[in-house]
């Protein structure tokens, strides 16, 4: 049971055209910049003159890639890297990426961000034809489809283009063949992917902050449906799958992406400030101070303060040394986990009417504990504002909202939620304004988790992989 949203992964790739560019170092630093997109596992695959090898494991970037591991990686000309938060497939080393595939036409390394809506259907078809799977993630389904198409096509990019006719859902891919680096974005553009240049070398990444981390210059976003190829001839693209209405996940701007990233033309930091400004217009209140829940609530809180005229201040200090390995062995410790991770600054909130800004409410348990901290620190009133609409529907494109039963807004009114989390008032951003956050973008947005209106057909239900289901008492 989750209390915050998680997005699937971050991907990175680099094609070296400069002798002084170290692709291993670039991949390592880029993964650090993309760590917020996935903390379960990470990996780097290196193409050394057509021979692809790599290393991956469960853990954070600094845990997996020690100096010894990095020194043992070959210094090739192409690298593909990945950090993972799994929404399909268990958390284990087997499901870590990039996947490295060896087949009759050569080798391939593949990193994937997103979630296929027809993965189960495709997997069953492949299994009935004799395909053997080593993971439980939909990324391996993509790898199978591409390699099968490669047998009958003249190039890896032609195979990818043909595979896209069969893949449905969200996928931003970075692929290395023996001689090429390829970036692919699904026709709806659910997940971000951008292109950069480092001297004469080309780079692909989920977010522009990864380009900044290695000193690369941002060129442009990969267009929805576009296949971008880099080889010894330079950079070119295939656009035969482009032209459908785009549907970028709007939560990239609300929560997932780093504030310093620019996605599809809009600065994430400014988009979150706009969310706060919209909240101030939609849900005004008399208060003394505006604070945000670190980290993604801070920008929205600043926007609320600017629009409302209520002073902004830092209300919480976040313990940055609490990572995924933080253990909560007893119920009492689980209840106090928020206090370990967040500590209110009492002098900021004591005796004051507080506007508290957060990016979402999923189950409500974390929100209730945060509000309790403010009450104990002396806040006289707490007015919560949320920079997203209420979650009412599951997501099929890579966010871990898997069913309505886990969502507090599906079973309670706004007034009931306010009482449950003990706030004096509660306001959510409207669905009309959530699509206006990225004012410089010309793309459309997916808001299915708020509205139930999805940009493409979705399955009736999200099935758990049969290899992750226990037999049960019947043993059937």
pLDDT digits (tens, 9 = 90+) for 373-410: 999 999 999 999 999 999 999 999 987 776 788 789 99
* pLDDT grade for 61, boundaries at 50, 70 and 90: very high
**pTM metric for this prediction:** 0.92
Task: Delimit the CATH 3.40.50.2020 region(s) of the chain.
Answer: 262-451
User: Residue range 309-328: average pLDDT?
Assistant: 77
What is the C-alpha to C-alpha distance for residues 231 and 202, in angstroms, rounded to an integer? 10
Instruction: Say whether pLDDT at 69 is over 50.
Output: yes
Between CA 131 and CA 151 the distance in angstroms is 15
Q: Which residues are catalytic?
A: 9
pLDDT at 465: 57
Token digits for 165? 């006719």
Q: Give mean pLDDT, residues 274-278.
A: 98
- pLDDT of 5 over the 60 cut: no
CA angle (24, 26, 28) in 5-degree steps: 70
pLDDT bucket at 92, cuts 50 / 70 / 90: confident
- Strand positions, DSSP E, 25-96: 41-48, 51-58, 78-84
- Token pair in block for residue 123: 């997997």
Contact 114, 15 (CB under 8 A): no
CATH 3.60.20.10 for domain 9-247, yes or no, is yes
pLDDT band per the 50, 70, 90 thresholds, residue 450: very high
Q: What is the mean pLDDT of residues 10-33?
A: 97
pLDDT surpasses 80 at 424 = yes
More confident residue, 245 or 329: 245
Q: Are 292 and 348 in contact (CB under 8 A)?
A: no
The mean pLDDT value of the chain amounts to 92
Q: For 191-198, what is the mean pLDDT?
A: 98
**Range name among 148-157, 225-234, 393-402 with the lowest pLDDT average:** 393-402
Non-local (6+) Cβ contacts of 21 within 8 A are 14, 198, 199, 201
Q: What is the pLDDT, as a whole number, of residue 325?
A: 40
**Three-state secondary structure call for residue 250:** coil
* Parts of the chain belonging to CATH 3.60.20.10: 9-247
CATH number of 262-451, picked from 3.40.50.300, 3.60.15.10, 2.130.10.10, 3.40.50.2020: 3.40.50.2020
The rounded distance, in Å, linking the Cα atoms of 77 and 56 is 19
Residue 476 has pLDDT above 60, yes or no: no
Q: At what angle do helices 414-421 and 365-376 cross, to 10 degrees?
A: 50
Express as a percent the part of the chain with pLDDT over 70.
Answer: 90
């Amino acid at each position: 049971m989750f209390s915050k949203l998680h997005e699937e992964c971050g991907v990175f790739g680099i094609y070296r055209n400069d002798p002084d560019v170290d692709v291993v170092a670039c991949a390592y630093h880029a993964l650090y910049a993309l760590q917020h997109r996935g903390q379960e596992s990470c990996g780097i695959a290196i193409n050394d003159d057509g021979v692809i090898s790599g290393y991956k494991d469960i853990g954070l970037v600094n845990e997996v890639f020690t100096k010894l591991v990095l020194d043992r990686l070959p210094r090739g000309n192409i690298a593909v890297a990945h950090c993972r938060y799994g929404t399909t497939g268990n958390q284990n080393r087997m499901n870590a990426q990039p996947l490295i595939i060896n087949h009759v036409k050569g080798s391939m390394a593949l990193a994937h961000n997103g979630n296929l809506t027809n993965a189960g259907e495709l997997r069953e078809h492949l299994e009935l034809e004799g395909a053997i799977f080593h993971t439980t993630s939909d990324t391996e389904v993509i790898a199978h489809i591409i390699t099968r198409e490669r047998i009958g096509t003249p190039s890896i990019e032609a195979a990818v283009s043909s595979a896209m006719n069969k893949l449905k859902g969200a996928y931003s891919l970075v692929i290395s063949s023996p001689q090429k680096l390829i970036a692919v974005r699904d026709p709806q553009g659910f997940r971000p992917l951008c292109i950069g240049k480092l001297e004469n070398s080309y780079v692909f990444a989920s977010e522009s902050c990864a380009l900044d981390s290695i000193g690369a210059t941002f060129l442009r976003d990969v267009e929805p449906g576009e296949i971008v190829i880099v080889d010894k001839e330079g950079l070119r693209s295939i656009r035969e799958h482009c032209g459908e209405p785009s549907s970028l996940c709007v939560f990239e701007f609300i929560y997932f992406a780093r504030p310093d990233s620019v996605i599809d033309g809009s600065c994430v930091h400014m988009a979150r400030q706009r969310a706060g400004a919209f909240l101030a217009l939609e849900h005004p209140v008399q208060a003394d101070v505006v604070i945000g829940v670190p980290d993604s609530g801070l920008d929205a809180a600043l926007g609320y303060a600017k629009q409302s005229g209520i002073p902004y201040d830092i209300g919480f200090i976040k313990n940055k040394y609490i990572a995924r390995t933080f253990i909560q062995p007893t119920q009492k410790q689980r209840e106090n986990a928020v206090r370990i991770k967040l500590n209110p600054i009492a002098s900021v909130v004591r005796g004051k009417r507080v506007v508290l800004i957060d990016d979402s409410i999923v189950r409500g348990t974390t929100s209730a504990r945060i509000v309790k901290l403010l009450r104990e620190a002396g806040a006289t009133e707490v007015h919560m504002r949320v920079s997203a609409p209420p979650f009412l529907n599951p997501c099929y494109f890579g966010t871990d909202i898997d069913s309505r039963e886990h969502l507090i807004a599906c079973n309670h009114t706004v007034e009931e939620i306010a009482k449950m989390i003990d706030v004096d008032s509660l306001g959510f951003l409207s669905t009309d304004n959530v699509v206006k956050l990225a004012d410089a973008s010309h793309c459309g947005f997916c808001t299915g988790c708020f509205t139930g209106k999805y940009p493409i057909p979705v399955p009736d239900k999200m099935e758990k992989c049969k290899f992750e289901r226990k037999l049960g008492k019947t043993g059937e």
